[in-house]
């Protein structure tokens, strides 16, 4: 024994040291607040940026919390006892279009004011009896339109008092249209959601729920004009109400009232309401979800049951779910729930709770659901002593609405730091430039006023934010605070060593992105519910989780059945026909596939009698299609196929030529002609586009106005003309560059110059043409001559103002629409810049990657496959799929359909649809030919040679073309294409105007 120990002594000592080091690291891995020890206290320091005078900050309204605090500091107080009600039709002014007087849709209220188009508005005059704070609300009726929530802006005397007043959200009402469905394996599927129409009342509230109570507007005594303007979706106004702030009693006050009225506690009563059986909800996204914890009710170990509601879809301010509860007798009850709040580490999520439309007491404005990785059961608030609620015998409506109030002040502080950091970063760039010499002494403290105090004060504000998070229950060293603590430490470090700022200037932009990302992630208040509990105080709460034996049993069952269970198949829910169903593979997530299956069962199979068997394959796993073909097990149809795949299969005679179907051209007319180019080969057509990305130009109206740029650039030359102006002010123009997307970034310049990638349908490269050379010079010149950033987070820098204009794709549009409310009204989207033709038209040609649907050649159900593919890409189906997908997964999953008609009916703002359709007039994708992959590779290589290595443009192009031509010739010889009697046609003209 001792011999063994002596022989391995060194190894054992090394292992012990490693274990000790790991333990030390694990215990000290959190963030230490000692970094702030050397930061001095500051008095009145001027933190204003030299850029802030009359600049962006003066044009963007303050946040609501800043407005409310300033008004309070100036002496404003709540008024008491006042209520003004103005009928919707009693307006003093109305816009010439987009607004009108109409009859009440339900016929009970007489005339109402209806706002039915963007830009429509009505004005009401109210006579305020006393100066002070007032709250407001409207009685509204959401009219049938695209199904999105209603949005309105509110101006007081022609001004927005705070930026949230530009976008006030009024939710619609939804319910399940039918019972849930089950497939032959017992798996449960969500039913279709349908809208419930009716009058609703709602106060003007923060759309992100960062304030617990409705907005307080400061109004002076006298007459004021209140303008309500349409920004999205049609709705009628029945009443406008202006009233003194509602004071909700505390629980202690309510409890005293219970005693005075001799209310008694109920006994021997316990009622469960399954949360998934909601009566109403604000969004069709709030659907049933499955959960495999054995204590979840109901539970079936052999199948998937939709036994909960909420989770990732119930997270945004204003979203609510309502249930109907019925109690057997009048008295005092406890109300609770079985819930899961596992998404925000150590931070509780909150909900506002109302019963029959009323907040029972103040504490219900923000009910905490504590964080845990496990399911929990507890009362709604009250801690160890759950609150009591008086309920009359009979039915009641209980509603929970997302609330973020506890984090509002933290978000406000961090956003303020982010804005000050944006100004400071731009000031630094104005001194050192975009590519500074890190070895030069820049003397930033002399050139930037109060540089060190400003850095220290930003660090102190972040420290206060961290301390606020500690007070909410976040543990010290929590990874949830990593972004804030890292930024705080960076500011302290930079203040101690200002000479290092030039070499670390990129870290300031990265830090700003991290702070914005932290707010976005923490703003999502996810909560999942299994059931509600209404019980008498003498009854114990149900157990939150199943016992160990039960969990082990279910775990073992799942393990053994995993060897035989088909996880890719979406089961059949309709009646099977004789013979095999049509086999469709979907290269998307299971949620996407389930929607397609549901729609096919309800619509396609019902109309045609053709059953459809849906199977899921991983997105991007296109090799599975090739393996299926070679093994003789290919499906009939595949959806979600990447755009370069159809020609690979057509080259090997693996796909049906869709041109052989007599009505192909009729179907092809649903898309822009230029969108079909990549799927043509040897005169045939081998795929149809499902969705379609697109690039647009985004710009900040406020910043360009401040810079004196009154004409928004329409051509690339006009873009180049404004870049020096932007850069003089520490700003930049954005045009993305990535290795994977280089060819798509180059294509617009090539097409707009009148060039193409290939000659004679792919026999040789056309990148040695004069047009290609001019396009490459223009594209790379943006980076070499104008020094625009090669890499940046456009979304974050657009928000901060560092990149007030740029070209980006559809995902940026969705981000700005959903996560940048403070910019509402200050940005627009237009078609991307182009090149002016001799006839005066601006050529804006641009493509966009798409996913496609294909039919395999070896199918035995050729006509059935074509009927399915036609059905799938039709406008009504694409419109419904987009609506269902957004309902299930949120606006972030908005479906960018390639069908032009369907796009027009999706819930986009009309002005944005018009901009997209204008850009789509110039939509043109590149031709895909055998050997095309080398063109993709060499376009990126050419960019690297020119931009990064300084190589001559012509020389770099010529070297690249030689390699591309060699590969094209090799591929054509390999497949014997030049021996074919039918030559490949060129699509150079297709898609151009």
Helix (H, G, I), strand (E, B) or coil at 880: helix
Q: What is the mean pLDDT of residues 659-674?
A: 94
pLDDT tens for each residue of 836-859: 999 999 999 998 878 999 999 999
Say what the pLDDT of residue 32 is: 59
pLDDT tens for each residue of 538-595: 999 999 999 888 888 888 888 877 777 665 666 555 444 456 899 999 999 888 898 8
Say what the pLDDT of residue 808 is: 93
Judged by phi (left if over 0) then psi (alpha if -120 to 50, else beta), residue 934 lies in alpha
Q: What is the mean pLDDT of residues 9-35?
A: 57
pLDDT tens for each residue of 476-498: 878 888 889 999 999 999 998 88
Say what the pLDDT of residue 13 is: 65
Best-predicted range by mean pLDDT (199-203, 807-811, 932-936): 199-203
Q: For the ranges 7-21, 128-142, 714-728, which has the lowest average pLDDT?
A: 7-21
Q: What is the mean pLDDT of residues 383-412?
A: 92
List phi, psi (to 5°) of 859. -65, 140
**Mean pLDDT score of the chain, rounded to an integer?**
87
**Residue 817 above 60 pLDDT?**
yes
**Residue 4 above 60 pLDDT?**
no
Helix (H, G, I), strand (E, B) or coil at 150: strand
Q: For the ranges 42-46, 541-545, 704-708, 929-933, which has the lowest average pLDDT?
A: 42-46
- Bigger pLDDT: 685 vs 186: 685
Omega into 298 within 30° of 0, i.e. cis? Answer: yes
Say what the pLDDT of residue 57 is: 46
Q: For the ranges 54-58, 447-451, 649-653, which has the lowest average pLDDT?
A: 54-58
Q: Under a CB-based contact definition with an 8 Å cutoff, are residues 610 and 580 in contact?
A: no
How much of the chain exceeds pLDDT 70, in percent?
91
- With vertex at residue 230, the alpha carbon angle to CA 226 and CA 234, rounded to the nearest 5 degrees, is 125
The CB-based long-range contact list for 448-454 (8 Å cut-off, 24+ gap) reads: 448/424, 449/46, 449/50, 450/45, 450/46, 450/47, 451/424, 451/495, 451/498, 452/495, 452/498, 453/42, 453/45, 453/47, 454/45, 454/47, 454/420, 454/424
Q: What is the mean pLDDT of residues 760-765?
A: 90
Exposure class string for 717-753: b at 16+ Cβ within 10 A, else e: eebbebbeebbebbbbbbbbbeeeebbbbbbbbbbbb
- Bigger pLDDT: 276 vs 513: 276
Helix (H, G, I), strand (E, B) or coil at 256: helix
Q: For the ranges 216-220, 609-613, 764-768, 788-792, which has the lowest average pLDDT?
A: 788-792
| pLDDT tier, 632 (very low <50, low <70, confident <90, very high otherwise) | confident
Q: Under a CB-based contact definition with an 8 Å cutoff, are residues 279 and 175 in contact?
A: yes
Going 630 to 632 to 638 to 640, the CA torsion angle's sign is negative
Distance CA 553, CA 659 (A): 56
**Residue partners of 454: CB distance under 8 A and separation at least 6:** 45, 47, 420, 424
**Residue 960 above 90 pLDDT?**
no
**Residue 22 above 70 pLDDT?**
no
**Residue 375 above 90 pLDDT?**
yes
Specify the DSSP element, H or E, that contains 324. strand 320-327
Going 564 to 567 to 572 to 578, the CA torsion angle's sign is negative
Burial bucket for residue 383 (CB in 10 Å: 0-12, 13-18, 19+): exposed
- Nearest Cα to Cα of residue 437 among 514, 501, 380, 392: 501
**Residue 168 above 90 pLDDT?**
yes
Q: Under a CB-based contact definition with an 8 Å cutoff, are residues 282 and 149 in contact?
A: yes
pLDDT tens for each residue of 188-231: 888 888 999 999 999 999 988 989 899 999 999 999 999 999 98
Exposure class string for 516-550: b at 16+ Cβ within 10 A, else e: bebbbebbebbbbbbbbbbbbeeeebbebbbeeee
What does DSSP say about strands 270-274 and 527-535: parallel, antiparallel, or unpaired?
A: antiparallel
What does DSSP say about strands 582-586 and 612-616: parallel, antiparallel, or unpaired?
A: parallel
Helix (H, G, I), strand (E, B) or coil at 188: strand
Say what the pLDDT of residue 891 is: 72
| pLDDT tier, 992 (very low <50, low <70, confident <90, very high otherwise) | very low
Q: What is the mean pLDDT of residues 906-935?
A: 87
Q: What is the mean pLDDT of residues 257-268?
A: 96
């Amino acid at each position: 024994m001792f011999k063994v120990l002596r022989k391995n002594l060194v190894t054992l000592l090394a292992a012990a040291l490693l274990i000790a080091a790991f333990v030390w690291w694990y215990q000290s891995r959190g963030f230490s607040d000692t970094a702030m020890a050397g930061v001095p206290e500051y008095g009145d320091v001027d933190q204003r940026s030299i850029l802030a005078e009359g600049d962006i900050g003066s044009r963007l309204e303050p946040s609501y919390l800043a407005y409310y605090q300033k008004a309070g500091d100036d002496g404003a107080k709540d008024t008491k006892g006042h209520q003004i009600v103005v009928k919707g039709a009693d307006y003093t002014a109305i816009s010439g279009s987009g607004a009108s007087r109409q009859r009440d849709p339900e016929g009970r209220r007489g005339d109402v004011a209806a706002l039915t188009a963007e830009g429509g508005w009505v004005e009401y005059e109210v006579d305020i009896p006393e100066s002070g704070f007032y709250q407001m609300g409207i009685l509204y009726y959401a009219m049938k339109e695209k199904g999105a929530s209603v949005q309105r802006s509110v101006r007081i005397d022609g001004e927005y008092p705070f930026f949230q007043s530009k976008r006030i959200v009024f939710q619609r009402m939804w319910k399940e249209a039918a019972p849930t469905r089950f497939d032959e394996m017992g798996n449960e599927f969500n039913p279709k959601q349908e809208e419930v129409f009716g009058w609703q009342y709602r106060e003007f509230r923060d759309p992100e729920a960062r304030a617990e109570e409705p907005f307080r507007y400061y109004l002076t005594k006298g007459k004021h004009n209140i303008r309500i303007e349409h920004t999205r979706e049609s709705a009628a106004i029945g009443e406008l109400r202006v009233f003194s702030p509602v004071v909700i009693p505390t629980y202690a006050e309510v409890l005293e009232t219970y005693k005075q009225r001799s209310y008694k506690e109920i006994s021997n009563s316990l009622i469960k309401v399954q949360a998934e059986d909601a009566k109403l909800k604000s969004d069709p996204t709030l659907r049933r979800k499955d959960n495999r914890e054995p204590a979840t009710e109901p539970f079936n170990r052999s199948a998937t049951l939709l036994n909960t509601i909420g989770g990732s879809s119930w997270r945004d301010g204003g979203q609510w779910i309502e249930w109907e509860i019925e109690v057997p007798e009048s008295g005092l009850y406890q109300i609770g729930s079985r819930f899961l709040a596992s998404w925000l580490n150590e931070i509780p999520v909150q909900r506002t709770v109302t019963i029959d439309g009323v907040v029972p007491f103040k504490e219900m404005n923000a009910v905490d659901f504590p964080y845990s990785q496990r399911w929990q059961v507890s009362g709604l608030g009250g801690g160890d002593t759950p609150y009591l609620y008086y309920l009359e015998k009979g039915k009641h409506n209980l509603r929970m609405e997302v609330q973020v109030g506890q984090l509002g002040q933290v978000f406000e502080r961090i956003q303020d730091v982010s804005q000050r950091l944006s100004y400071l970063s731009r000031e630094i760039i104005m001194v050192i430039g975009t590519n500074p010499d890190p070895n030069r002494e820049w003397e930033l403290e002399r050139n930037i006023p109060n540089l060190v105090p400003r850095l220290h004060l930003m660090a102190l504000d972040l420290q206060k934010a961290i301390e606020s998070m500690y007070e909410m229950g976040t543990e010290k060293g929590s990874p949830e605070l990593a972004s804030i603590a890292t930024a705080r430490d960076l500011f302290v470090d930079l203040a101690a060593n200002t000479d290092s700022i030039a070499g670390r200037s990129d870290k300031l932009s990265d830090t700003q992105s991290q702070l914005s990302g932290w707010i976005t992630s923490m703003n999502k208040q996810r909560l999942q519910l299994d059931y509600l509990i209404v019980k008498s105080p003498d009854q114990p709460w149900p157990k939150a989780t199943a016992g160990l034996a039960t969990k082990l049993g279910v775990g073992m069952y799942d393990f053994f059945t995993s060897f035989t269970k088909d996880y890719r198949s979406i089961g059949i829910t309709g009646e099977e026909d004789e013979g095999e169903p049509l086999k469709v593979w979907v290269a998307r997530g299971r949620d996407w596939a389930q929607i397609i299956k549901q729609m096919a069962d309800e619509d396609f199979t019902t109309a045609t009698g053709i059953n459809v068997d849906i199977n899921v394959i991983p997105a991007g796993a296109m090799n599975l299609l090739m393996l299926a073909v070679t093994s003789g097990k290919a499906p009939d149809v595949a959806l979600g196929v990447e755009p370069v795949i159809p020609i690979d299969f057509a080259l090997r005679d693996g796909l049906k030529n869709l041109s052989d179907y007599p009505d192909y051209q009729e179907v092809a007319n649903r898309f822009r002609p230029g969108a079909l180019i990549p799927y043509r080969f040897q005169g045939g057509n081998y795929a149809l586009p499902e969705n379609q990305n697109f690039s647009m130009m985004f710009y900040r109206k406020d910043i360009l106005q401040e810079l004196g740029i009154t004409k928004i650039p329409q051509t690339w030359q006009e873009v180049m003309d404004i870049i020096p102006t932007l850069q003089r002010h520490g700003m930049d123009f954005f045009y993305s560059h990535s290795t994977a997307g280089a060819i798509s970034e180059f294509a617009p310049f090539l097409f707009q110059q009148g060039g193409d990638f290939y000659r004679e349908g792919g026999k040789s490269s056309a990148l040695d043409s004069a047009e290609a050379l001019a396009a490459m010079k223009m594209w790379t010149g943006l980076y070499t001559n104008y020094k625009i950033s090669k890499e940046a987070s456009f979304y974050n820098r657009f928000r901060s103002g560092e990149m007030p204009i740029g070209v980006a794709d559809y995902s940026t549009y969705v981000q700005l629409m959903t996560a940048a409310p403070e910019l509402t009204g200050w940005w627009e989207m237009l078609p991307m810049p182009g090149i002016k033709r001799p006839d005066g038209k601006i050529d804006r040609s641009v493509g966009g990657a798409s996913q496609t649907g294909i039919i395999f050649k070896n199918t035995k159900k050729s006509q059935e496959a074509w009927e399915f593919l036609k059905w799938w890409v039709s406008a009504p189906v694409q419109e419904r799929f987009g609506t269902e997908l957004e309902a299930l997964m949120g606006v972030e999953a908005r479906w960018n359909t390639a069908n032009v008609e369907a796009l027009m009916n999706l819930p986009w703002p009309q002005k944005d649809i018009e901009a997209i359709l204008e850009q789509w007039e110039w939509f043109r994708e590149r031709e895909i030919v055998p050997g095309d992959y080398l063109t993709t590779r060499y376009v990126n290589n050419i960019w690297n040679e020119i931009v990064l290595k300084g190589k001559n443009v012509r020389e770099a192009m010529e070297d690249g073309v030689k390699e591309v031509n060699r590969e094209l010739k090799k591929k054509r010889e390999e497949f014997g294409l030049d021996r074919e009697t039918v030559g490949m046609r060129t699509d150079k003209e297709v898609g151009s105007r």
